[in-house]
Structure 1
Amino acid sequence: MFKQKKTKTAKRFGWLTIICSSLTCLIVGGGIVFLFMNHQLQEAEATNQSLGKISTVYSALYNNYYKSVSRTKLVNGALNGMVDSLGDPFSEYMSKSETESLSNTISSSFTGIGAEVQKSGSHIQIISPIKGTPAEKAGLKAKDIIEKIDGKSITGYSVNKAVSLIRGKKGTSVTLTIKRGDQSFTKTLKRATIPVKTVSGKIVKNHPTVGYVQVSTFSENTAKEFKAELKSLQKKGAKSFIIDMRDNPGGLMDQALKMSSIFVKNGKVLLRVQQRTGAQQVYRAGKKYDSGYKITGKTVVLINSGSASAAEIFSAALHQSAGDQLIGTKSYGKGTVQNTLPFSDQTELKMTIAKWLTPNGDWINHKGLQPTIKADYPSYAYQTAIDTQKTYQQGQVSNQIKKMQVLLNAMQYSAGQANGYFSDQTVAAVKKFQQDNKLTVSGKADAQTINKLEEKVAEQISQRDNAYQAAINALK
C-alpha cells in the first residue's frame, strides 16, 4: 500500500498559477484526445482502403469474368478466404446448413457416424469417435485423416462441408477412405442416430463402493445428466469415482465448469481464460456452478489422445485443484476458446477468441495433459484397420493379411507367424473363427469375416482395459 505524506504547512497558490496550470492541462489533454482521434482516423482509413480493394475485386470478377458467377459464391469465397488466412482449424465461416449441423451437435440428436472432426491443414482429421457409435464400432481413431467420402476426395473442404456429406438419413451407408500413418484403407459405415444422452454410469463389478461415469461429449444437458448419474450411483453405495473422459472431443465450456466444480473446493481455480491483451478471467469453484452439490470421495480421471477441449478443462481442474490423478495416455491438447457470431441469413462465423489455461496457468495447446499413471490398451488396439475392398485367401502375401493374423492371434486363433503370408495355418484359423461366429466357412477372409473379426477384437479390447484396471487399483 502506498501512503501519502502529509505536509506541515499548506502551500498557497495564486490565480495566475492556477490559470497557467489549468491551461497546461487543457493543452496536454487536448493533445491526448488529438492523438487518439488521429489513431482512430488512421485505422478507419486503413479499413476503408482494404474494403475498397475487396469491393474492386468483387466488382471486377462479377462483371468481367469470362462466364457468369453468382454473388453468393464470390461473397462466401471472400469470407472463407479471410478466415482461412488465420491458419486456425477451429475458426470458420459456416453456411446455413453448416450452422444447423453445429447446433444439432450441441443441442439435439442427429444422424451420422458419430465422429468429432477438425480441419488439419487441407485435411479433415478425426478428434475422436463417440462411444457406441458407428465410427467407434468401425475402429476409427483419433488423428485418422478422412481422405475421401464415397470415393470423392475432400482435400481442402471445410469441416462442416465434410460433415454435411458424412451425415445423412438413418440406415443409409457412407464409405470413408481413411489414412492412418502411412497407410490408407476404406470403411463403409451405416448411419445411425447419435445418442442425445452424453453420460452413462455403473457400479464397478466386484467393487460396490466405486462408481464409474463415462462422459462422451459436453452438450447443453451434460452437466445435468452428470449430476443425476453421480447421485444415482451414490444411492447405490458409491463413495469413490472413476470419471472416464477418454475419446471425449469436448464441447461447451460452461458444462465443464459446472461439472468440475463438484469435485473442487469453493474458491479454488477451475479455469483461466486469457484474452489477446494478456488479461485473464479466472473461474473458481463455487455454488454458482455446482449449486452446493459436492463429491468429497476419492476420484480419478481417465484420459487419452481423444480427450480434448472441455474434457481437458475438466481433467486439468480436478488434477491441479483437487489433486486427483489422471490415468491413461496424453490428451489431445486443444487450448483455445471459440465463440460464434450469428448473421441474419442464419449463417455464422465461428472464431477463436481466447486461450484457456489450466488452474496452474499452463497452456496445453498441442501439448496435452500428461497422465500421472500411464496405462493403455494392448498394442493391437492401435493397429490400422484392414481394407475390406478385397477378399484375402490362401497363398497370397500382403500387409493386410499380416494385420488380420495379428488380430486372429490376439483372439487366440492360431494363425501362425504374423508375416503377411496366407498359410495353411492361417486358413485353419479363419475357418475356425468363421465357424465360431456362424459365418460361411470358406477359409477366405472376405469383408463380412474381417468386419466381424474387428468387431470381436473391439469387444475384447474393452475387456482388457488396462487404464480402467489401473483406476480401480488406484481407488483401492
Structure 2
Amino acid sequence: MSDQGIPFHRHIISLICMAIISGGLVFYFQKPSLASYSTSQSSDELEKIHQLYTKIQNEYYQEVNSDLLIEGALKGMTDSLADPYTSYLNQEAAASFTTSLSGEFEGIGATLQLVDDLPEVAQSPVKNSPAEKSGLRVHDQILQVDGRITKGLPLSEIVSFIRGEKGTSVQLQIKRADEIFDVAVVRDVIPVYSVYGQLASENSTIGQIEIVNFSQNTALELKEMIEELRKEGATSWLIDLRQNPGGYLDQVEKMASMFLEDGEKIVQFSLKNQILGEVVASQKLDQGFKVQEPVVVLVDGGSASASEIFAAALKESANVPIVGTTTYGKGTVQSVSSFQDQSELKLTVQKWLTPSGNWLHETGLEPDIVIDFPEYAYLIPLSKKQTLKLNDELAEISTLNQFLQALGYLTTVENSYSLVTKQAVEQFQMDNQLEVTGEVDQETASLIEIRLSQHLKKTDPMRQKALETLTEMIQ
C-alpha cells in the first residue's frame, strides 16, 4: 500500500461530519433497527455499567449531562474493539454519513476521522469541490481551524467550525508528516455525484469513466453513463477507480455483474475462516445490462473496499487488466444499523474475499501493470505565509525548484534560491501575466501549484498507460 498522498490533480477534499475510517468502507445498504436490543436481555453483564452510571450521577462534584455519559459509553464500547472500521455515530454524525453518499452539503469537501484526538482527512475527495486547489491530502491532520485548536474536541464541533456559508473562507493549519502549514479554502455547496465520464481526447472510441465512490445510485449512474457514451461512439472502456474509498456493497455487486458473464464470481464472504457464501453475476443484479467491450481498470493506493471488490472481480473472473499502484487493502464488510434516536452503529461483521479466495486486507490488490505518478506530485504545497526570494535556503526551496523543473522552467534542481531560480520565476510570472518580481509570493505560489495540477492532469502517466493498454487490446 502506498503511503503517499493524493497527487495534485486529485487534491479535492470534502467535509462531511462523520468519523469515517481511512481507506473507505464496504457496508450494507439496509439499516435494521437496534431498538429490540434491550439492556434487560443482558442485565447481569451490564450491571457494572449501571452502577458506574448511578455513581457518577449521584456523587460527581459537578452536574452531569446524562446524555453525554451514555454517548461516551456507546463510543467506548466500539472503540474498545480496536477496529477502525467499527464506530458509533451520534445523530449528527449519522445524518452526515448518510448525506455523504447521497444529496449535497455545504463545506469545503473533506471527510474526517479522529485519530489520537486530532481530526484527520480520512478518504478521497468529492470531485470538483472548492478545495481542489488547496493541496490537502489523505492523512493530513487539522491542528487549527481559524485559529481554534482542534485537539481533543468532538468531531462534530470541529466540523461545525469548518462548515459555513457558501463563499466564505476557512483557514486550516495542517500537519503532514513533520511539516506544518496553512491552507485557506473557500466554502461552497458540494454536490455528491459518483460517476463522471467522457470520451478520451486521444481516442474518441474510448469511454473514460471515473467512479468516485459507491453511493446509493452509483450502479444506475454507471449504466446511464455507459449508454450515453455508447451513443457518442465509445466501443471500449477505461474505468478509473483511483482514490475511490468504497461504499455500498449492493452497488458494487450490481456494477461488477455488468462486466461479467452470468454465473461468474464477484465476491465471497467469510467468517472465522469459514466461507459463508458468494455472489455471482446474474440478471437479477444487472437487469440484463452487460458491458462486453474491452475494459481496463485504473487503481491506486486510495482505491479501497468496494473499489477492490470491483477490480478483483474483473481481474480474476474476466481477465480485465488492472493498471496503477497497489490498492489500499481493506477486506472487511460493515453493517450500518440505526437506533430509535437515529444514531447509528457501523459494525464490522465479516471478511470479503476475491473470486479466487484471496483476502486483500492490509495487502491490497496488485495491478497487472504497475505505474505511479512522479515523486514531485506528492510534495507538500508551497508556503503562502512568506515570500521566497534570492539566496533563501529554506527547506521548501527544493520543492519550488522541483515544481519549476516539472513545468519546464528549470533543467536541474538545487536546494537554494539561486539566480537561476530567480530567472525561472521571472519567466513563469511573465508567462502567466503576473507582476515580474523574481520572488514567490502567495499569488505566484498558488498559480505555480495550479499550473502543476493542470500539467499532471494533462500528462497523467497512470492514465496514459491505461489508455495505451486499452488501445493495444482493441487494435
What's the TM-score bracket when you normalise by the shorter of the two chains?
Answer: 0.7 to 0.9
Residue 56 (1) aligns with residue 64 (2):
no
Aligned to 2:138: 142
Which stretch has the larger CA shift, 219-228 or 182-191?
182-191
In 1, Cα distance between equivalents of 2:117 and 2:135: 23
- The 1:156/1:325 distance shift into structure 2, 3 A limit, reads farther
Structure 2 CA distance, aligned partners of 1:143 and 1:364?
21
Contact 2:110 2:121 in 1 (8 A): no
Match of 1:194 in 2: 190
SS across alignment from 2:100: helix
Distance 1:429 1:136, change over 3 A: same
Q: Does 1:377 align with 2:380?
A: no
**Matched residues in 1 for 2:139 and 2:250: separation?**
26
Amino acid at match of 1:278: Q
Aligned match of 2:169: 173
Structure 1: tracts of 5 or more residues without a match: 1-43
Aligned with 2:425 (options 425, 430, 451): 430
One of 307, 311, 330 as aligned partner of 1:315:
311
- Alignment match, 2:14: none
Tell whether the 8 Å contact from 2:168 to 2:187 is kept in structure 1 after alignment.
yes
Aligned counterpart for 1:104 among listed residues 96, 99, 103: 99
Separation of aligned partners in 1, 2:156 and 2:335 = 16
User: Is contact 2:90-2:343 (8 Å) kept?
Assistant: yes
Maintained 8 Å contact 2:315/2:322: yes
Return the offset for 1:87: 1.2
Percent identity, please: 39
Would the alpha carbon gap of residues 410 and 427 (structure 1) be closer, same or farther in structure 2, given more than 3 Å must change? same
The residue type paired with residue 63 of structure 1 is N
Q: Is 1:386 aligned to 2:382, yes or no?
A: yes
Aligned to 2:451: 456
Are 1:406 and 2:393 matched, yes or no?
A: no
Q: Give a deviation string over 1:373-409, Cα, whole Å, max 9, x none.
A: 0112222111122232222222321112221111112
Verify: 1:80 aligned to 2:43, yes or no.
no
Quick one: distance in 1 between partners of 2:107 and 2:312? Answer: 31
1:157–1:351: structure 2 CA closer, same or farther, 3 Å change rule? farther
Give the equivalent residue in structure 1 for 2:342. Answer: 346
Pair 62,438 (structure 1): closer, same or farther in 2 beyond 3 Å: farther
Give the TM-score normalised by structure 2: 0.85
Letter paired with 2:290: K
Distance 1:100 1:177 in 2: 27
Distance change >3 Å, CA 219–CA 365, structure 1 → 2: same
Once residues 273 and 247 of structure 1 are traced to their aligned partners in structure 2, the CA distance between those partners, rounded to angstroms, is 24
The DSSP-based 3-state class of the residue aligned with 2:203 is coil
Structure 1 distance, partners of 2:354, 2:51, is 46
Aligned-partner residue type, residue 52 of structure 2? V
SS at the partner of 1:174? strand
Given that residues 431 and 443 in structure 1 are in contact (C-alpha distance below 8 angstroms), is that contact kept between their aligned partners in structure 2? yes
Pairing partner for 1:203 from 192, 199, 203: 199
TM-score with structure 1 length normalisation? Answer: 0.85
Letter in 2 for 1:128: S
1:30-429 maps to which residues of 2 (within 5 A)?
47-120=42-115, 122-123=117-118, 124-155=120-151, 162-275=158-271, 278-414=274-410, 417-419=413-415, 421-429=416-424
Aligned-pair CA distance for 1:263? 0.5
- For the residues of structure 1 that align with 2:106 and 2:422, how far apart are their CA atoms? 39
Q: 1:157 to 1:83 in 2, by over 3 A?
A: farther
Is the contact made by 1:130 and 1:247 (CA closer than 8 Å) also made in structure 2? Answer: no
Deviation at 1:426, TM superposition (A): 2.0
Q: Secondary structure at the match of 1:359?
A: coil
What is the Cα deviation at residue 411 of structure 1?
0.9
Point out which structure has higher relative CO (alpha carbons under 8 A, 6+ apart).
Answer: 2
Which segment is superposed worse, 451-460 or 115-124? 115-124
Q: Deviation string for 1:134-173 (max 9, x for gaps)? A: 3443222334344443344444566666545443332222
2:247 alignment partner, SS class: coil
Deviation track 1:182-238 (CA, whole Å, cap 9, x = no partner) reads 333222211222233321112222423221111111111111111111111112222
Query: For residues 291-339 of structure 1, what are the alpha-carbon distances to aligned partners after superposition, in whole Å with 9 as ceiling and x for unaligned?
Result: 1011111111000111112111111111111110110111111212122
Long gaps (5+) in structure 2: 1-38
Return closer, same or farther for 1:417/1:210 CA change in 2, 3 Å cut-off.
Answer: closer
Deviation at 1:284, TM superposition (A): 0.8
Q: Secondary structure at the match of 1:93?
A: strand
Question: In structure 2, how many angstroms separate the alpha carbons of the residues matched to 1:152 and 1:386?
Answer: 23
CA distance change for structure 1 residues 282 and 148 in 2, over 3 Å: closer, same or farther?
farther
Contact in 2 for aligned 1:79/1:93 (Cα 8 Å): yes
Contact 2:170 2:186 in 1 (8 A): yes
Change (3 A) 1:258 1:162: farther
With over 3 angstroms needed to count, the CA separation of the structure-2 counterparts of 1:153 and 1:68, relative to structure 1, is same
Q: Which residue of 1 aligns with 2:18?
A: none
Matched residue, 2:436:
441
CA distance, structure 2, for counterparts of residue 433 and residue 167 of structure 1: 35
SS in 2 for 1:128: coil
Corresponding residue of 1:29: none
**Other-structure match for 2:28:** none
Q: Is the 8 A contact 2:121 2:137 kept in 1?
A: no
CA RMSD in angstroms, aligned pairs only: 2.3
Bigger Rg, structure 1 or 2? 1
Query: What is the aligned partner in structure 1 of residue 32 from structure 2?
Result: none
Change (3 A) 1:166 1:305: farther
CA shift for structure 1 position 465: 1.1
Deviations 1:432-469, CA, capped at 9 Å, x for gaps: 22232233333322222211111110110011111111
Task: Give the distance between the partners of 1:290 and 1:185, measured in 2 at CA.
Answer: 47
Measured after TM superposition, the shift of residue 102 of structure 1 is 0.8
Larger % of helix: which?
1
SS in 1 for 2:207: strand
State the shift of 1:370 in Å: 0.9
Check conservation: 1:185, 1:387, Cα contact below 8 A: yes
